[in-house]
Structures are given as C-alpha cells and as structure tokens.
Amino acid sequence: MTIENIENPTAETGSVVVAIEAASVNFPDVLIVENKYQISVPTPFTAGSEFAGTVTEVGPDVSWPAVGDRVTGSAFCGAFAEQISVPARQLSPVPKGLDMIHAAAFGVTYRTAYHSLVTIGGLEAGDWVVVLGAAGGIGSAAVDIAVRLGAKVIAAVSSAERAKVCLDLGAGETIVYTAESLKDRIKEITGSGADLVIDPVGGTYAEQAIRATTWGGRYVCVGFADGEIPRIPLNLILLKGVILRGFEIRTLADHLPEAVALGDKRIGELVAEGMKPYVSDVFPLSRTADALTAVRDRSTTGKIVIDTRNEQF
C-alpha cells in the first residue's frame, strides 16, 4: 500500500462527496487487499469500506444529505482517503452522541452484530448467547448489544486480556478457548447448552460451539477471521436439531428491508441510551497498512480506526 495524491472526486447524479474524518478497519478490508475476498478488485484501488465525515458537495437529484451534514457511510472500497464520492442512499446521519471516530466504527459492526443476534439469530431476553472472538470488532459489538437486550452472555476469547475487555462490556462469563475446552465450559456454565452462538471466527471452534448448543439451538455464521472455513458433520445437526444460518450484511437490505429499518431504529435507541463502539486504537492515514496488519494478525481488541485528518502528504 502507498499514499498518493489523486484527483478529487466529484458528485455525479444521485451521489455526494464526503470529506472523510475517520474510517474504520474491518476484516473484509484485509481480505480484499490480500485478494482473498469473494469478489476480486482490480488494482490499483483505494481500500476501506466504512467512514464518517462531512458532506462537501451534492450531485443532482439528491434530496438528502445537504452540504455540511455529518454522515456515516459504507462503500465496497475507497474509505481510506481524505475524500470519497458515494451514492446518497449509502449514507446515514451520525448518531447523536457519537464523535467522528466512534461514528466511523459504528455502522458495519453494530448492524452486523444486531442483525446476527436478532434478525437472523432470533435472540430473546434470557437466552444463553455465546460469542466467539468476543473481543474483536464484531464480537465486542455482539457482546454489548446482547447484554443490553437482556441475554446471558458468554464471551469466548483467546486470552485473559481479551476476557477482561469482554467483562468490562458486560459479559457474564468468559471462556479462554486456547486454555480450556470450549464445548465443556459452555455446557458447564449453561447446564443445558447455548441457545444462540454468534461466530465471526470459524476454524476449529465452530464445531465445538455447535456441540455445546441446547437442542434446537441456533448457530449464526458471520465470517472466518480464523482463516479456515469449518466443515460441519451433518449428523451432528440432525441429532441436535441445530439451526444453522449465515449472515452477510451486504445483501440483507435486498432480502429483508423492513428488518433493516427496524434494526436501525432499535440501534439508534440503544445509542441514545449510551451505547457506543469500543475503539481500542486509532492510526493516522499514513499508517493504514499497519492498521490492516493489526486486524489481520488479531493483535488488537475492539475496533481499529484510521484518522484521516491533520496530515500533510
């Protein structure tokens, strides 16, 4: 990755230009840069998919937002930059109570976490919920939301340091799955097994988590941060009556637009009650490659954000 000066973007019909103030790093950004994502992007391209900033130019046929509005947004690529041009429909107002750093870290992870738990996972108050990779971006958001919605949360993590992060977020129990049996500890804590598993990690722990669900439990596949796509024996699903579901945020609005609208409303209510992302590190734009490396190596907790301001190139 290199930092280069390119032509400023312009606002075409239906689009706006946003002066980016902060952009968050998500695991798919790493996969796209490494050309390991489901969709390949021709080089050269500007990485980054989630940002917050101020509208500086509005194209024809745009009724909202207006110049000067503070917005968050998403794009497949282009967010690790000082400016971006995107369709207006891909933008939302910055939630009241969030600064730009936290606003940039909010949209993808908290919407992913909410819909994984509620829309896809069918979360109900009192459920035993296991979150794998619980100190990461999506994981920490899932812990935060599940606690606020009345679930009994078990945070599964790789170290004692990460376990503390999850306890601070409100998790009732933690499991360090590198040092103890994930399956045995879930059963020990819950008695009958987990009602819902949220898994953004994949790898060897997916099957252990499924084996520790109660009869009829739900397992939601969110991603494969471990790098290994698990292969689940279907006889296990048959015997336990487990419901396996997958979640991918890019296509949710196409299939369940009403659920997306309801989710955004509920998330807004939770933010008004004090919810905000856990941001563990902020990198300058010149160190974007370091930020991506940190996410790839899973060496940090919570969300990583790129601050695009106050640098000269």
Annotate 151-164 with DSSP letters as a single string. Answer: -EEEEEESSHHHHH
What is the DSSP annotation of 296-313? HTT-S-SEEEEE-SS---
pLDDT for residue 215 is more than 70: yes
Q: Which residue has the higher pLDDT, 245 or 299?
A: 245
pLDDT in tens, 217-257: 999 999 888 888 999 999 999 999 999 999 988 788 889 98
Residue 44's CATH number:
3.90.180.10
> Does the pLDDT value for residue 22 go beyond 90?
yes
Q: What is the span of the domain harbouring residue 177?
A: 108-251
Rg of the chain (C-alpha set): 20
Examine the domain organization and report whether 222 and 129 are in the same domain: yes
50-73 average pLDDT score: 96
Q: What pLDDT, on a 0 to 100 scale, did the predictor assign at position 313? A: 63
| Mean pLDDT of all residues in 176-186 | 96
Q: What is the pLDDT of residue 40?
A: 92
Question: Which pTM value belongs to this model?
Answer: 0.85
Residue 191 — pLDDT band, cuts 50, 70, 90? very high
What are the start-end ranges of the E strands in 94-172? 128-132, 152-157
240, 201: one domain: yes
Helix (H) or strand (E) holding 280: strand 279-284
| 185 has pLDDT over 80 | yes
At 34, the pLDDT band (50, 70, 90 cuts) reads very high
Same domain for 219 and 149, yes or no, is yes
Q: How many domains does the chain have?
A: 2
Over residues 111-136, mean pLDDT: 96
Same domain, 112 and 236: yes
Q: Is residue 19 part of a domain?
A: yes
Least confident of 128-137, 205-214, 226-235: 226-235
Q: Please report whether residue 264 resides in a domain.
A: no
Residue 312 has pLDDT above 70, yes or no: no
pLDDT value of residue 251? 81
Q: Give me the sign of the Cα torsion angle 130, 134, 137, 141.
A: positive
Q: Does the pLDDT of residue 145 top 70, yes or no?
A: yes
